[in-house]
Amino acid sequence: MHTPPLPYRTILVALSCAESDRGLLEYAAQLARAWTDAAFHLVHVLASASPQELEAAHTRMLATLPAAFVGAAAGRAACSVEQGDRLDALLRFAVAERVDLVLLGHRRERGGRRSLARRLAMKAPCSIWLVPDGSPSSLQRILAPVDFSPRAADALQVATMVAAAAGWDELHALHVRFNPASVTFDEYEEIEMASEHDAFALFVAPIDLHGIHVKPIFEEGSRVATTIRRVAADMGSDLIVMGTRGRSAASAVLLGSETEQVIVESDVPVLAVKHFGARRRFLEVLLDPRVRLRGDQRFT
């Protein structure tokens, strides 16, 4: 039997030590069951703490882990308590442990900006999986928006790996076209659609789809992010997989306006795909041991 490749092997789960962590850890448990070789780092950040407070926070983390996660990730998970600015601490940990995915719960903050989620997705040296509060622990209908770019190809390949690991055999790829021009003859839309299908076939041809049937959807919309969210809602999608703005060092901190907008507004979990090799050099300063203090304990 063919074993699908793991999309990610080292996963940081950012915890707040609040009730909302339970839903996030139940969501993480489904990934642990599907990705049986993946390692999970559960990380909580305190602004400032004494060694005794760090130890107490660590003990609380262990005591409140849901049984579903403990059972799913037994022997493959560790709890850590960091201190300092939350964003900086998570970035520092991601670089130090060569994390390739951050799983982060998020909710609408004042003004609906989801500040931490947005900033972490912009600056992290790895992919970010954002899980809104109340998201069901299911992974059945994946939507991958594509614009026929290399970053979209990367994201689609990851999306098919996620689908294969979850045991599904298809997903939908959405292309949103923006065409404000007036239609001047009856056959215009038919010709345009034929061209899109040809472009899509050329786009997916070199991509390893891991045996997943990718069904294209073509929609027209003046606002790409709004169209993505509408299609996801209409289809009952439970995950949106999108690329960030590229692979180069200069683009590692650029999220892309459409991906950022979906992250800010989506009620559906969003996986923003980024490659670890694109990290910015300035993140390395966060590895200075003088500014890093952590507790670490593995459970079985």
Write out pLDDT tens, residues 108-137. Answer: 554 445 678 888 888 888 899 999 988 887
pLDDT for 141 beyond 60: yes
User: Residues near 267 by Cβ (< 8 Å), separated by ≥ 6?
Assistant: 132, 229, 233
Structural domains of the chain sorted by starting position, each given as residue range(s) with its CATH number in brackets: 10-137+281-299 (3.40.50.620), 142-269 (3.40.50.620)
When pLDDT is cut at 50, 70 and 90, the band that residue 282 belongs to is very low
Quote the pLDDT of residue 210: 93
Contact status, residue 41 vs residue 78, Cβ threshold 8 Å? yes
CA atoms of 91 and 86, how far apart (whole Å): 9
pLDDT for 298 beyond 70: no
Contact status, residue 207 vs residue 248, Cβ threshold 8 Å? no
- Prediction pTM value: 0.84
* Interval 169-211: pLDDT, tens: 999 999 998 655 544 445 445 545 568 888 899 999 999 999 9
Contact status, residue 179 vs residue 220, Cβ threshold 8 Å? yes
**Based on the number of CB atoms within 10 Å of its own CB, is 222 exposed (0-12), middle (13-18) or buried (19 or more)?**
exposed
When pLDDT is cut at 50, 70 and 90, the band that residue 286 belongs to is very low
Reduced to 3 states, what is the DSSP secondary structure of residue 202? helix
Q: Concatenated DSSP letters for 161-194?
A: HHHHHHT--EEEEEEEE---SPP-STTHHHHHHH
Mean pLDDT across 11-15: 96
User: Residues near 289 by Cβ (< 8 Å), separated by ≥ 6?
Assistant: none
DSSP alpha helix (H) spans, 124-270: 150-166, 188-204, 224-235, 257-265
Of 57-71, 111-125, 145-159, the poorest mean pLDDT is in 111-125
Q: Which amino acid is at 277?
A: G
Quote the pLDDT of residue 245: 62
* Interval 229-276: pLDDT, tens: 999 999 999 999 998 764 444 334 445 677 888 888 888 999 999 864
